[in-house]
Amino acid sequence: MPAVTFLPSNAVIEAESGETILDAARRAGLSVEVPCGGKGICKKCIVQVISGDIVREDNPLMDKSMLDDGYAMACRTLIPNTSDVRVRLLSDVENEHGVFSEQSEDMASIDSAILPSKDDLEPMVKLLSITPVVPIAGDGLSDYDRLLNAFSEALVEITNADPLHPEIKIDLPIRLLRSLPELIRSSPSLNVAYFVDGAKIRVIDIQPILFDAENTAIPRLGIALDIGTTTVAMRLVDLATGNILAFKTDYNGQIACGLDVISRINYASKPERLEELRTKILATINELIESLCQEADASPAFIYDMTIAANTTMVHLFMGIPPEYIRLDPYVPTVYDVPFYTAADLGINICPDAVVLIAPSVGSYVGGDITAGLLCTSLAHDSEDIYLFLDIGTNGELILGNNEFLMGCACSAGPAFEGGGITQGMRASTGAIEHVDVDKNTGEATYNVIGGKKPKGICGSGMISLVSNLIRTGWIDFAGQLERDRPSASIEINGRSASYIIEPKEDIRVVVSESDIQNIIRAKAAIFSACYLLLKNIGMGFADLKGMVIAGGFGRYLDFDDAATIGLLPKLKADQVHFLGNTSVSGAHFALVSARHRRLLNETAKRITYIDLSTDLGYMDEYSAALFLPHTDASLFN
Amino acid sequence: MPAVTFLPSNAVIEAESGETILDAARRAGLSVEVPCGGKGICKKCIVQVISGDIVREDNPLMDKSMLDDGYAMACRTLIPNTSDVRVRLLSDVENEHGVFSEQSEDMASIDSAILPSKDDLEPMVKLLSITPVVPIAGDGLSDYDRLLNAFSEALVEITNADPLHPEIKIDLPIRLLRSLPELIRSSPSLNVAYFVDGAKIRVIDIQPILFDAENTAIPRLGIALDIGTTTVAMRLVDLATGNILAFKTDYNGQIACGLDVISRINYASKPERLEELRTKILATINELIESLCQEADASPAFIYDMTIAANTTMVHLFMGIPPEYIRLDPYVPTVYDVPFYTAADLGINICPDAVVLIAPSVGSYVGGDITAGLLCTSLAHDSEDIYLFLDIGTNGELILGNNEFLMGCACSAGPAFEGGGITQGMRASTGAIEHVDVDKNTGEATYNVIGGKKPKGICGSGMISLVSNLIRTGWIDFAGQLERDRPSASIEINGRSASYIIEPKEDIRVVVSESDIQNIIRAKAAIFSACYLLLKNIGMGFADLKGMVIAGGFGRYLDFDDAATIGLLPKLKADQVHFLGNTSVSGAHFALVSARHRRLLNETAKRITYIDLSTDLGYMDEYSAALFLPHTDASLFN
């Protein structure tokens, strides 16, 4: 079979029969983004063929000049068995990767105000010191009997209860039974880490208590994890104190298989691809665990407890459950409230019998990231005033309510705010234009680039900045059309469409098309109309809100004036807006260490009324009304 | 590295550095028995070196003539890296193997009187048909919610109980959650196989109910298994009817690592050897399952339930638990009453979440084979008369009692009754001399061979037959010394010791030494004195017994007159003796299909008072008194 060489890394792999360039690149371990799920639509996987034979599928989205220059969509181009092939990858996921981690300032300054209070400290996994009776010939007690008796007695003692009800079962993993003979003879006393789940008690680990050691308590660690569609955030926590020992974020390893949840669901339609997605997120998680443990000089074997917050699709993919019914009418996912599984069940490399709690989801697109995120605010349980909680990501997820009612919905903002669907769009990492000023007279741009280097593309906040300044300077109309009557070197007109040139220099040229601007308009329209409709559902408007709580990575770069100018959000006073950063991982942390918050989490999830906007007849009207700059009803933004 | 060729099979393997012949033979997949656990004592692994260099360890048990003839103990002979080696295996385990299976007549005629009654039919794994609500947009129910609701309602319905207590947890294996989206949409109704363990309910399997099928019930199969030290017996059972679909016996794959439990415990002293033993018995079990399923045209995936009876050591080895404390003072095994594990936990290739029940043991050497075996008699629960239950195997296990008291003990008969420790001893398979008559005048032997072919050795019942007839004809004295004063062609005297020649022809010569006879005497003395002492403990004698129940493979070949003549058992009337064959597998079958018998099993195990003869000061006296033919007190056998 022919060899395929990928530039710039020079990775080489032998092509398999009838394989696409995309498949070969993935097998070679290279990340290629396919936001559309490999359907030949997003053009993100375009490669340049340097040499060798390839077979392109006919695709109207590729114009003749691109074909002449050797460009091809990796997902729609086969490698025939005729010659070796050399291609150049144009996407740069690997390079962005490192930069993103450097830039996670929000994680470096975790707000102590939204850390759980010491008063609440009560992890799911508890410790009991026991002293089994010594082995005596003829007393009829096995090692297992001696362990169970001592453990049951100690349990009864701490609960001041009657002897354990005989129906209550204590589960001992076979791994621990196998090591029990040595363990129970290694020390007179043992520490037992255990977990009570209703009438079931599960032993998680047993460690000898070494009395010559300074500290007789075994380390008992936990992990709080947020699995975002794009980013994964993790905290390693000391369960005895609730303190963070280390924290880190990384890209979700699945992004090479689609940028948004719909693309991932499409990608997962074959069992082997579902398994690929599961393996990819597991690899991300296990690498983060290893890295955090190294940093904190801790052993993964002592991680007994893990709490995960993720959207409904991420939960399904992480667990290996086919996600397709999430997006098929009548939109019934396989699981909202996941029962407890062990780390071994799920493939996580910590203590194999560690308990894994997954925050409950409430709808196809309002997931555990939101129910956990609400733990970071008093909105749902302590506030009589009504707030709107908004988590802006690839999906916008909204909760409206107070301590009496909670309504939730989601809208598909699409990946535009994260650079997806924009010709030269990219995430907010080095080389991204993140702010654009527009000259009122000439229409020309001045801009800032993240990292201060040459621009490689434009990120979501850059697009919002650009569009709002085009509005302010009058170079765009309320339908999103660029000015055609007043000439400007920055506006290029091609027949019926036009483009705005941010940077004209050939080698670093950055251009935004009207079609790109339409994508931003559609994204902001989706979010605004969802907010508007959720309020309207209970006869309210933005004026009735005490305030808004903005969560998620995108929120932290958002200029509120710009957001109001384009019609993404209403105009609010500074003290009405609260930025909480990654509430999903903070909420997971709350649930990890506090029994009160675990109760709140479940109660909150049960209280949320999920509204499916896709079946709401009014949504399309509101959405259409919002497809303008700022809106058909501009008074909403005064 | 040198090649090692094993005759007669011509198997060839490349030797590893510093490896023994035994290790190489095992890696080549050949069975070599080492009853002593490879300590250079039993001489069962002797091979003949045809060509090539070997390095023998000095061993006083190998005399010069043997060394000159090229014999070597495989366990104590290294293969240096100098030349290829050819050796002839003298043991013939592989050949016996097939014969043994052919000859398992006891299994071919399972006594229906000791099969569970249909009235008792209640397996652990039950079936419920459920019809989950159809998926509806906006009702807030996931697939998992729909499944749990329908299942809980159906459970409540059959038990006529209030709604399930919230503390009761229903465990759904992650495997089933992963297949749930397809499963719950494949048919309006589902069959759920489940298992109730106290306050915990575990779902074992879910199958769609196909209404176009003739039979809407899914097959629900179970396995009853006896893991003997030597033999493994298995029945495949239809849990809906309790009927046996297929049954089979095979050798325990561990016999190559030691013939009795003590040798196995010694062999298991290193973790990798414990794992080897575990893997070997698992292979035996999984092969039997495959074979039974083929015979019954059934799928292992529908085997939801398994009940295992085995002695304490076999339970530890099968579960991978280090067994060494079973035989170390104070004789506290790691587990008597094994909690429920799944087939996947244990490595059994059936439905991965199948429940495995292991019959409880009561002492180091009175195991679940005995507690299960007692289910085959009314002794323990229905009889006011006192019986002695005796399971003669490599270990003799005894239970004395009635419906009011039960006392149990064990004695190490050693492998003599199974051919171990006898120079030309072998198991009761083709080629074994199983009966020997002795001429009163000449002392010469006439004998029967199993399979009617040329003799290869002598089995346990052959030894008992020989010794009892030597006693009857006066050719042996009560200490086990062969007649020296009257000359006989059959008695060969070498200095202070003598041998009895059963077959003098050179190529098929079979000789029994006085030392072999001493081994039989020690075996019978161990069993008789254990019986005697157990009775004496409560101030009774054999005359107080209503009868004896004889279980185990050896029992079925035993001549009761011969047994009394050598002093193995007291003289009893025919109607006082009950042969039940393999009560261990029958007991497992009872427990598999009947809730009443599972309760009895646990109750019985709790009621047995275990007496450790090794700590009983009177035992050595009784044992010594029994080291005669028949006994120092011959009146016991009149």
What does the block give as tokens for A604? 């909150």
What is the percentage of chain A residues whose pLDDT exceeds 90? 55
Assess contact for B387 and B546: CB atoms under 8 A. Answer: yes
Q: Which tens digit of pLDDT belongs to each residue from B247-281?
A: 988 889 998 888 788 889 999 999 999 999 999 99
User: Which DSSP state fits B248?
Assistant: E
Nearest alpha-carbon partner for A636 in A502, A512, A532, A519? A532
Q: Which tens digit of pLDDT belongs to each residue from A594-636?
A: 999 999 999 999 999 998 887 777 888 999 999 999 988 888 8
The pLDDT confidence band at residue A556, using thresholds 50, 70 and 90, is: low
For residue A539, CA distances in Å to A314, A379, A542, A548, B90 come to 33, 19, 11, 18, 94
Most B CBs within 10 A among A177, A182, A272, A338, hence the mutation to make, goes to: A177
Contact yes or no for A143 and B167 at CB 8 A? no
Domain range summary for chain A, segments of one domain joined by +: 3-91, 125-208, 220-368, 369-415+520-637, 419-511
Is residue A105 predicted with pLDDT exceeding 60?
no
Q: What is the mean pLDDT of residues B337-357?
A: 97
Q: Which tens digit of pLDDT belongs to each residue from A192-230?
A: 999 998 888 999 999 998 766 565 567 899 999 999 988
Q: Can the peptide bond before residue A330 be classed as cis, meaning omega within 30 degrees of 0?
A: yes
The CA-based angle A446-A448-A453, given to 5 degrees, is 120
The pLDDT confidence band at residue A450, using thresholds 50, 70 and 90, is: confident
Computed over every residue of chain B, the mean pLDDT equals 87
The CATH code of domain A125-208 reads: 3.10.20.880
- Given this model, what pLDDT does residue B80 score? 85
- Given this model, what pLDDT does residue B556 score? 63
pTM: 0.80
Tell whether B47 is within 8 A of chain A (Cβ).
Answer: no
The dihedral region occupied by B418, where left means phi > 0, alpha psi between -120 and 50, and beta the remainder, is: alpha
Rounded distance between C-alpha atoms, residue A116 and residue A102, angstroms: 26
Q: What is the mean pLDDT of residues A469-484?
A: 95
- Equal CATH topology for B3-91 and B125-208: yes
- A182 contact residues in B (CB cutoff 8 A): 322
Tell whether B414 is within 8 A of chain A (Cβ).
Answer: no
Hey, how many other C-beta atoms are within 10 angstroms of the C-beta on B332? 25
For chain A, the 3-state helix, strand and coil shares in percent, each to the nearest 5, are: 35, 25, 40
What is the percentage of chain B residues whose pLDDT exceeds 90? 56
Q: Establish, for the pair of chains A and B, how many residue pairs have beta carbons separated by less than 8 Å.
A: 160
Residue with tokens 């297949």: B179
Tell whether B633 is within 8 A of chain A (Cβ).
Answer: no
The alpha carbon of B23 is separated from its chain's Cα centroid by a whole number of angstroms, namely: 25
Assess contact for B80 and B55: CB atoms under 8 A. Answer: yes
Task: Kindly give the residue spans of alpha helices, DSSP state H, lying in A473-542.
Answer: 514-537
- A339 contact residues in B (CB cutoff 8 A): 144, 169-172
Computed over every residue of chain A, the mean pLDDT equals 87
How distant is the Cα of B203 from the closest Cα of chain A, in angstroms? 13
Q: Can the peptide bond before residue A630 be classed as cis, meaning omega within 30 degrees of 0?
A: yes
Is residue A284 predicted with pLDDT exceeding 90?
yes
Tell whether B320 is within 8 A of chain A (Cβ).
Answer: yes
Q: Which tens digit of pLDDT belongs to each residue from A302-355?
A: 999 999 999 999 999 999 999 999 989 899 999 999 999 999 999 999 999 999
A369-415+520-637 topology per CATH: Nucleotidyltransferase; domain 5 (3.30.420)
What does the block give as tokens for A139? 């007393």
Own/partner pairs, B48-51, CB within 8 angstroms, 24+ separation? B48/B72, B48/B87, B48/B88, B48/B90, B49/B77, B49/B85, B49/B86, B49/B87, B50/B7, B50/B86, B50/B87, B50/B88, B51/B84, B51/B85, B51/B86
* DSSP-derived pairing of the beta strands A55-56 and A77-78: antiparallel
- A614 contact residues in B (CB cutoff 8 A): none
Cα dihedral sign, B66-B67-B68-B69: positive
The CA-based angle A303-A304-A306, given to 5 degrees, is 85
Nearest alpha-carbon partner for A584 in A305, A367, A406? A367
Q: Which tens digit of pLDDT belongs to each residue from A140-187?
A: 899 999 999 999 999 988 876 677 777 778 899 999 999 999 999 999
Assess contact for A314 and A332: CB atoms under 8 A. Answer: no
Level-2 CATH architecture, domain B220-365: 2-Layer Sandwich (3.30)
The CATH code of domain A220-368 reads: 3.30.420.480
Nearest-CA residue of chain A relative to B199?
A167
Rounded distance between C-alpha atoms, residue A167 and residue A292, angstroms: 40
Is residue B104 predicted with pLDDT exceeding 50?
no
Q: Which tens digit of pLDDT belongs to each residue from B285-333?
A: 999 999 999 999 999 999 999 999 999 999 999 999 999 999 898 999 9
- Given this model, what pLDDT does residue A440 score? 96
What is the percentage of chain A residues whose pLDDT exceeds 70? 92
Q: Which tens digit of pLDDT belongs to each residue from B363-389?
A: 999 999 999 999 999 888 889 999 999
Q: Which tens digit of pLDDT belongs to each residue from B133-183?
A: 999 988 889 999 999 999 999 998 887 667 777 777 889 999 999 999 999
- Burial per residue of B524-540, b for 16 or more beta-carbon CB atoms within 10 angstroms, e otherwise: bbbbbbbbbbbbeeeee
Most A CBs within 10 A among B174, B331, B362, B607, hence the mutation to make, goes to: B174
Is residue B110 predicted with pLDDT exceeding 50?
no
The CA-based angle B177-B183-B185, given to 5 degrees, is 120
Tell whether B177 is within 8 A of chain A (Cβ).
Answer: yes
The alpha carbon of B574 is separated from its chain's Cα centroid by a whole number of angstroms, namely: 27
* DSSP-derived pairing of the beta strands A387-392 and A303-310: unpaired
How distant is the Cα of B407 from the closest Cα of chain A, in angstroms? 13
Contact yes or no for A336 and B615 at CB 8 A? no
- B142 contact residues in A (CB cutoff 8 A): 332-337
- Given this model, what pLDDT does residue B112 score? 47
- Given this model, what pLDDT does residue B585 score? 92
A3-91 topology per CATH: Ubiquitin-like (UB roll) (3.10.20)
Phi and psi at residue A439, to the nearest 5°:
-75, 130
The dihedral region occupied by B242, where left means phi > 0, alpha psi between -120 and 50, and beta the remainder, is: left
- Given this model, what pLDDT does residue B384 score? 93
What does the block give as tokens for A366? 């309002």
Q: What is the mean pLDDT of residues B24-35?
A: 75
Is residue A565 predicted with pLDDT exceeding 90?
yes
Most B CBs within 10 A among A136, A334, A409, hence the mutation to make, goes to: A334
Position with higher pLDDT, A396 vs A119:
A396
Q: Which tens digit of pLDDT belongs to each residue from A431-442?
A: 889 899 999 999
- Given this model, what pLDDT does residue A103 score? 33
Assess contact for B629 and B471: CB atoms under 8 A. Answer: yes
The pLDDT confidence band at residue B94, using thresholds 50, 70 and 90, is: very low
Query: Highest-confidence range of B23-32, B37-46, B606-615, by mean pLDDT?
Result: B606-615
Q: What is the mean pLDDT of residues A579-590?
A: 89
